[in-house]
Amino acid sequence: MTIQINLDVMMAKRKIRLKTLAQIVGITEQNLSILKNGKAKAVRFSTLDKICEALGCQPGDILAYDVEPED
């Protein structure tokens, strides 16, 4: 996958736990974990909006385009 999810990095920077973020965003821990581990196939704008609001960051801080795809 060429799109990398840096949610764990941002969560570590903000020192916020998965459970807390899931509660703020309003999604299940399981779904947030899917997103964090890069297993998600799509992200809703509404979810992205809430994550950015909760972490005080930009979408680009969470999502990054990897030029060289992983094998």
Residues that bind other proteins (CB under 8 A): 27, 31-32, 34-35, 39-44, 47
Residue 34 exposed, middle or buried by CB count within 10 Å (0-12, 13-18, 19+) = middle
When the beta carbons of 45 and 65 are compared against other proteins, the nearer one is 45
Task: Give me the least distance between CB of 27 and other proteins, in Å please.
Answer: 6
CB of residue 44 to other proteins, shortest distance in Å: 6
Q: How far apart are CA 36 and CA 51, in angstroms?
A: 11
Closest CB to other proteins among residues 45, 67 = 45
Work out the end-to-end distance of the chain between its first and last CA atoms, rounded to an integer number of angstroms. Answer: 9
